[in-house]
Amino acid sequence: MSASTVTPAAPTQPPAPAPHDSRLQYTACPLCSAPDIAVLRTGDCSRHPLYKPVIAPTMVWMRCTACQHVFTDGYFTDAACAEIFSSTNPNQQPGAAFEQNRYVSARIVERVARYVADGRWLDVGFGNGSLLFTAEEWGFEPQGLDLRPSTAAGLRALGVDAQCADLTTLDAPGRYSVISLADVLEHMPYPGEGLVAAHRLLREDGVVFASMPNYDCAAWRLLDAGDANPYWGELEHFHNFSRPRLYALLEEYGFEPLHYAVSERYRVCMEVIARRR
């Protein structure tokens, strides 16, 4: 065969990361550090709108024998996080559905304002910004914190101070009256680290507002019974909290739970207000 008829080799492409490399494995419970953990069930995250093929499509959920906490078998590597954070759900962009969200946020701010009337309000993972826009109407000074650069830039464009940073790296002790962790703790590999930071950043009489799915309620069990529970395949979640486990965690890190409510933000969610001790 002459040189002119030789078929050139296809260019070599770097192999895609193996799906199992997208998570760093927990070797113990991320809340109580007990080593006795066991597989509870699996879930499919491949249909999540932010799913990327570098991430394993099957989520493995574990349960701690000691404290009964439910969590994934691992948390994302920095590379996997970068893939996920490269896009955003439309409803989480600053200003999205602002009128409808204003009503939901108003009921949250009204409850929080019973315990703290003014001061700086830091919203971590602020998403569409509704909670901060509404807190400002009550006289709070709003500030946002988010891990997505585009989201932080979008909030600044709407006139609200925002940083792209991790809560645990913020250096402003005692600066805030309110820190909202609205659907945030379940996204953190080690939620206790977030509460340590919140305690340090709050003033002495400050409060934390936390919301998340309630793993231990009838509404959750009804979704399970109909094989229609979206949270087993919720790509960005590492934890499923029950109310007792959340309260125990808050108390462990220096907070006194004050108020419980059913959340209107997302399906089958709970909201808790707790004061810094």
* Separation between Cα atoms, residue 23 and residue 18, nearest integer Å: 10
Looking at residue 260, its pLDDT comes to 98
pLDDT at 77: 95
Q: Are 114 and 261 in contact (CB under 8 A)?
A: no
Topology of domain 90-215+241-276, CATH: Rossmann fold (3.40.50)
Please provide the DSSP assignment of 34-97 as one string. -S-EEEEEEEE-TTSTT--TTS-SEEEEEEETTT--EEESEEE-HHHHHHHTTS--GGGSTTTT
234, 73 contact by CB (below 8 A): no
- Which of 273, 77, 70 has the alpha carbon at shortest distance from 186? 70
Q: Position 46: which residue type?
A: S
| Residue-range domain boundaries for the chain | 90-215+241-276
Average pLDDT, consecutive stretches of 10 residues, N- to C-terminus, the chain (277 residues): 39 42 94 98 95 94 98 96 86 90 97 98 96 98 95 96 96 98 97 98 97 98 97 97 98 98 96 98
Kind and range of the H or E run holding 239: strand 239-240
* DSSP-based three-state secondary structure for 170: coil
CA distance 266 to 215: 13
Please tell me the predicted confidence (pLDDT) of residue 10.
41
The answer to whether 257 and 247 are in contact (CB under 8 A) is yes
- Alpha-carbon dihedral of residues 84, 62, 245, 148, nearest 10 degrees? -10
pTM of structure: 0.91
Amino acid at 48: H
Specify the pLDDT at position 89.
82
**Residue 89 to residue 188: CA distance in whole angstroms:** 18
Q: What is the pLDDT of residue 91?
A: 82
Query: Which pLDDT belongs to residue 121?
Result: 98
